[in-house]
Structure 1
Amino acid sequence: MQVPQDISNTIVDPKAYADGRRVDDAFTWLRREAPLAQIKPDRYHPFWAVTRHADILAVERQNDIFHNGDDFVTLTPIEAGKKVLQITGGSPHMVRTLVHMDSPDHFNYRHLTQGWFMPQNLRQLEARIRELARGFIDRMAEHGERCDFARDVAFLYPLRVVMEVLGVPQIDEPRMLKLTQELFGNADPEVNRSGSAEIDEKARVLSIQATFVDFMTYFNTMTEDRRKNPRNDLASVIANGAIKGQPLGHLEAMSYYIIAATAGHDTTSATSAGAMWALAERPEQFAKAKADNSLIPGLVEEAIRWVTPVKHFMRSATQDSELAGQKIAKGDWMMLCYPSGNRDETVFQNPFAFDIERTPNKQLAFGYGAHVCIGQHLARMELKILWEELLPRLQSVELDGEPRNMVSNFVCGPKTLPIRFKML
């Protein structure tokens, strides 16, 4: 059926994701009326909006049919795409991370660091992560009875964890946070390089390119150091890594650092802040979590579903195929709408309620299949430890102003979360 243009435009609008309600309403309409529809928002090439939980999983399972690397892997307006192709000499990708790869490269590059993120290795980090969590909770307490939980805790705790794993010194953490926010918040005038929301698409691409260059300059220096003086950190693995006996190419190595240094903390930060926002508005859920430590894993999963920090990835069809009764042509572009899948009424009872006792919770915020988030176990550990340490000390919490989300249609969560609280 024909999708109303305002619905099509809403699901690509960064401001709609900051609002939350607008994009939720648009996805609810699509799931009900056109769950797999080919749409054409203003300024974009047509694509299929995949909004149902089952259909998102079906695409994620079929990596041979639906590729990451053949086309733009995130929503890219037509004019921005032209600029990217001009910069790269024809590639839709300015960087080449695991997100941009298909088999066999994806498997080979993922295997390089996968062991670092498996539960058996992460257990060695648990004591240090718990120490860090306690330190940031102490700092929260030092604020008195008010703080901005997003800026004072949620941004900084996962950042410290990931930078220690990667091998970035603490003094450089503010720089990593600033570059991450510039990258993911390039549509947000409060964090992007221009300070404006009204820059044109080509200028936005140049801004993103400049951020990538800053990242690469930093990590190129780190690579030289780790090749001379390898350490027990992820940077040394990347700097000295090899695929089939050959060192990583410069673009691939720099891209590996960038995804670790950005997605590795920003998504967990968003989920931490989103969980606090939800609990501050729902005293009964806060009381349940505080009274029963065994509910913390459920709180973590529900927070991941509730926030869904990664809003979409794009796929492109490698052949003519069929999905949910629709004919998909070779080359068609597809948007996997993760917030929609995580509100699917056929999978989640009362999906617009925040319920830490939700069982089962088949949230798909980490993706599925071969491209499932490599850092999912670390993220869950960080979140679980944070709430295990914070809830026993937190007597009460409520909002102390208006929280606001980042303006982004790709990766976003709360950017400011003023709270009033009492610590025990």
Structure 2
Amino acid sequence: MAAATDQSTKIPDLTDPQTFADGVPHEVFDVLREREGLYWQPAAFGTRNGGFWAVTRYADIVEIEKNSADFTITLGNQFPGSDGAFAALRDDMLVMDPPRHTKIRRAATAAFTPRVVANFDPWIREIVNEILDETLPLGEFDYIEAVARHLPARVIARVMGIPRDQRERIVKHVDAVFAATMAPDAGVSMFGVMEGFFGYAKELQETKLHAPQDDMVTALSQLVEKGDLDQNQYEQYVQLLVMAGYETTHTLIGQSMRMVVEDPEVAAAADKAVAEGNSTRLVDEFLRYTCPVMNMVRCATRDMEVFGETIRKDDVMQMYFTAANRDPAVFSEPHRFNPSRPETATLSFGSGAHKCIASALAKLEVSILFEELHARGVKLELNGEPGRGQNVWINQLHSLPVRVIR
């Protein structure tokens, strides 16, 4: 094992949500990327070996994510909880290795390819304008509550075939799951929250089998009937679709607008990008810069020498996507917001077999949102102090008070 916490480097406790209370500690990750080998962060709970390796370089993370033989996700995909507490969630695709993961993932991948998602543009645009029509006349509002919470909830509800009057159930469920992620027994706590939602997934299944529609829940329900998925896999899949379709997009919507209302240079760059028809590139840069899901983990399956360190079986590899997205070995001027940059392959949605299947959908939602705000000539300004969450996993923003100035 390399040197444990070296106090001379003034590296804060990366297991403490307070470390992320004022924002992502990018100056710390800059230091860690430049160190030889990896950095060992002790942890009082949530791992089997008493801590984790902080992996901050882009190339190292890509190497880990493509090597499921040496680095498994089956003990959990996040810290805390990478100590086997996720065993109860074994049928969740997020904690499966290939080839088991490959079979389950195939059930929905075709529904979220960029080509298919591009066909969603008209009805997503309708939802965006519906939300803006409801919100902008207020003059002053919380952008998180009025826009960031409702847009992804309405979109994923439409994709899944969830009735309009049940959209808020999605929001409340996801909020409860992410509140549970910081518990010492995160896997167990999350499973307790999820159990109630599994009952709702069963209700949806029965409804869709009785009256099939062109939506994801109908398709998954029919796969259970055909024997391609079992019941537990179906329920976990519905749960995953809600989580993947909501939280990343919710955070991206909030954090990107926070950058716009706080930084005139970002606002000007965003306006220019949309005006020139480059909203997709703009969203790519917002994703790189804000990185909604800051990290994921894998666990070593054996003792090995890699990345300049002696890694033990069950050691947790904490992959900091948010640090890799600012790796100067990959991105020129990594701390500068630049929608015109040539490097667009970020790790905000992961890589390899577990790259987020709904990434194209999230990007389309946010692209359309900026396009429609631009088309209306709407400008927003900060109207109070943003409320940042305290979470070591998600780059959360709980409130963003704004006012319409044009």
- TM-score, structure 2 as length reference: 0.90
* 1:215-294 → structure 2 map (5 Å cutoff): 215-242=197-224, 246-291=227-272, 292-294=275-277
Q: Determine the structure 1 residue equivalent to 2:98.
A: 103
Q: Determine the structure 1 residue equivalent to 2:53.
A: 48
Structure 2 CA distance, aligned partners of 1:8 and 1:288?
Answer: 33
Structure 2 CA distance, aligned partners of 1:399 and 1:164?
Answer: 31
Offset of 1:278 from its aligned partner? 0.6
Q: Determine the structure 1 residue equivalent to 2:324.
A: 341
Structure 2 CA distance, aligned partners of 1:110 and 1:77?
Answer: 23
* 1:254-403 → structure 2 map (5 Å cutoff): 254-291=235-272, 292-403=275-386
Using a 3 Å threshold, how does the CA distance of structure 1 residues 65 and 236 change in structure 2: closer, same or farther? same
Moved more, 253-262 or 207-216: 207-216
Offset of 1:8 from its aligned partner? 6.9
Secondary structure in structure 2 of the residue aligned to 1:239: helix
Structure 2 CA distance, aligned partners of 1:160 and 1:35?
Answer: 44
Q: Determine the structure 1 residue equivalent to 2:148.
A: 154
Secondary structure in structure 1 of the residue aligned to 2:342: coil
Structure 2 CA distance, aligned partners of 1:399 and 1:179?
Answer: 29
Q: Determine the structure 2 residue equivalent to 1:113.
A: 108
Q: Does 1:178 align with 2:172?
A: yes
Contact 1:14 1:187 in 2 (8 A): no
Contact 1:93 1:100 in 2 (8 A): no
Secondary structure in structure 2 of the residue aligned to 1:219: helix
Structure 1 CA distance, aligned partners of 2:13 and 2:27?
Answer: 9
Offset of 1:99 from its aligned partner? 1.1
- Partner deviation per Cα, 1:291-343 (whole Å, 9 max, x = no partner): 43333222201111122111221112234444333343443321111111112
Moved more, 121-130 or 163-172: 121-130
Using a 3 Å threshold, how does the CA distance of structure 1 residues 422 and 55 change in structure 2: closer, same or farther? same
Q: Identify the match of residue 420 of structure 1 among 394, 403, 406.
A: 403
Structure 2 CA distance, aligned partners of 1:329 and 1:41?
Answer: 16
Using a 3 Å threshold, how does the CA distance of structure 1 residues 122 and 422 change in structure 2: closer, same or farther? same
Unmatched 5+ residue regions in structure 2? none
Q: Determine the structure 1 residue equivalent to 2:69.
A: 64
Q: Does 1:13 align with 2:7?
A: no
Using a 3 Å threshold, how does the CA distance of structure 1 residues 412 and 221 change in structure 2: closer, same or farther? farther
Contact 1:148 1:417 in 2 (8 A): yes
Offset of 1:215 from its aligned partner? 0.9
Structure 2 CA distance, aligned partners of 1:205 and 1:110?
Answer: 21
Using a 3 Å threshold, how does the CA distance of structure 1 residues 290 and 26 change in structure 2: closer, same or farther? closer
Q: Identify the match of residue 27 of structure 2 among 25, 28, 47.
A: 25
Percent identity of the aligned residues? 28
Structure 2 CA distance, aligned partners of 1:149 and 1:61?
Answer: 37
Q: Identify the match of residue 76 of structure 1 among 76, 80, 91.
A: 80
Unmatched 5+ residue regions in structure 1? 85-90, 189-199
- Equivalenced residue count is 398
Using a 3 Å threshold, how does the CA distance of structure 1 residues 3 and 348 change in structure 2: closer, same or farther? farther
Structure 2 CA distance, aligned partners of 1:3 and 1:354?
Answer: 34
Offset of 1:161 from its aligned partner? 0.6
- TM-score, structure 1 as length reference: 0.86
